[in-house]
Amino acid sequence: MRVVTWLDKLTDESNTWFAALRAEAEGDFVSAIVLYLRDATESLRQGSLVRAGLSCSCAADCLVKTGDPVRSRNLYHEAGNVYRENFERAINVSVREALWSLERAYECYLLADDSDGAQEVREIYKPLTHRAYPFREQEKLQLPRPDPPSSNKPNSGTESRPSDAELRKAIQEFLQSRGSSKGRGVPQKPRRSAQGGQIDEEDIVNQLG
């Protein structure tokens, strides 16, 4: 029996993530949004916050390209929340993953026009990076500023594209999954404290690497 490799899974026509990438590359942004959100929803069910955040932000990118800034900001904001939650999981296990999650959350909050959320992330990020990398130059520890995707005209072919009702359903199902995953208390990696920017410095030193 042939063993199915990770590459087979990635390039499988039934793979939702791969199908979303292909739809986006072909300019079928509406289909890509639905597929990205399905992948995000399934990732939440599996407890994969990084994958869920990535798929959600990709769906938001596609919404920008279709000229739908309101719903795109909603999804960017939720992606930021997902990455922030992943930071909470990772802080006591991997400082690098925790910092990466904060960077992604910061980008998403900026794209969502949520200055308060971005500022909260900044207040956590700055002392954490200074403590984790005390000898790195200050300018190399700055949070990245995202370049918003430009609006594009979607592919004119409509024979196989989802309807707006399907698009709304995909968004609703993803948001409901977010609520359910929080309610179930998806198992989290242990941490000490990352509330209000107060980080356990001893723990950071121990977890470097």
Average pLDDT over residues 131-157: 61
Report the b/e string of 48-76 with b at 16+ CB within 10 A.
bbbbbbbbbbbbbbbbbbbebeebbbbbb
Average pLDDT over residues 188-206: 42
For the cut 70, the answer to whether the pLDDT of residue 143 exceeds it is no
For the cut 90, the answer to whether the pLDDT of residue 77 exceeds it is yes
pLDDT at position 62 is 95
Instruction: Give 179's pLDDT tier (boundaries 50, 70, 90).
Output: confident
% of the chain exceeding 70 in pLDDT: 67
pLDDT at position 156 is 47
Whether pTM > 0.85 for this model: the answer is no
Domain boundaries, the chain: 6-144+165-186
pLDDT at position 111 is 95
Please say whether the structural domain 6-144+165-186 has been given the CATH code 1.25.40: yes
pLDDT at position 57 is 96
Poorest-pLDDT segment among 70-79, 83-92, 122-131:
122-131
For the cut 80, the answer to whether the pLDDT of residue 167 exceeds it is yes
pLDDT at position 4 is 54
Average pLDDT over residues 141-148: 64
pLDDT at position 98 is 93
